[in-house]
Amino acid sequence: MIRKIVQIDEEKCNGCGLCVPSCAEGAITIVDGKARLAADNLCDGLGACLGDCPQGAITIVERDTEEFDEGAVEEHLKKIGRAPSEHHPLAAAPAKPHHAPHHGGCPGSRVMTFAPSVASTAEPAVKRPGQLRQWPVQLHLVPTTAPYFQDADLLIAADCVPFAHANFHDEFLAGKALVIGCPKLDDNRFYQEKLTELLKVSTVKSVTVLRMEVPCCGGIVGSALQAVTASGKDIPFREVVIGIDGTVKK
């Protein structure tokens, strides 16, 4: 069948292994000092590993290969000593009951509960105006020729970031043009192509990417970095990692 799957450029790969833990299915392994797919049917083609390759050696391609096999993934994870997942939210295999809990697998899908912060239980603070100055914001919807991208500092944010980081508007959004997306649920190659076009036709002055700390969120960083390179422009780039507890990790 023709489907999306990870492709690793062995000439670019230096065997650092940063991509290995970011793959929830355990599909990537290091062999003879190079990252390689352990088996095609273990790769879901979502590209969670893209943002964790400093060499840009990992891309998503479409080719004829075997179907993604969730059962094979669970057996493989057991074999290599990683906790198997009861289900994968986007697996090609039939979905398990919606109430099934998450055990292991992708950290971005693991159910967690947080205690409210001290600030959230205090008296309401003085309301401040929001810093959003454009519409739309979804990367799928924004026109690459929109005037708000001209001479702008571009902020690329993963969907979950504004909900996790309470001071998102004042600390990161103020004065910037915004696009948002989810690298776990969307096509990272589309992100790369759309961002490349945007950067080529606009006069963006800088790019800041805000991602969550979970591995599957790294794809948006990889897409943005590749887009900056493909644009042929020398654009300052910054990555900021937000913890699931809302703190700035990097």
Residues 195 and 39: their CA atoms lie apart, in Å, by: 31
Residue 11, C-beta contacts closer than 8 angstroms, at least 6 positions apart: 57
Query: H helices of 33-138, where?
Result: 70-79, 118-121
Residue 230, H or E segment: helix 219-231
Distance of CA 151 to the CA centre of its chain: 26
Last residue of a domain, one of 59, 85, 101: 101
Domain range for 37: 2-101
**Quick check: is 123 in a domain?**
no
Whether residue 152 sits in one domain with residue 93: no
Whether residue 135 sits in one domain with residue 236: yes
Our CA angle for 139, 9, 159, nearest 5°, is 20
**Quick check: is 107 in a domain?**
no
Whether residue 83 sits in one domain with residue 7: yes
**Quick check: is 248 in a domain?**
no
Report the CATH number that the domain containing residue 161 is assigned in CATH: 3.40.50
Q: Give the per-residue SS3 of 64-83.
A: ECCCCCHHHHHHHHHHCCCC
Digit-by-digit pLDDT tens for the chain (250 residues) are: 899 999 999 888 887 777 887 788 888 888 878 889 999 999 998 877 776 677 888 998 999 999 999 889 888 888 877 655 443 443 334 433 333 343 334 555 566 666 666 555 555 666 778 999 999 999 999 999 999 999 999 999 999 999 999 999 999 999 999 999 998 788 778 889 999 999 999 999 999 999 998 877 888 888 899 999 999 999 999 999 999 889 998 8
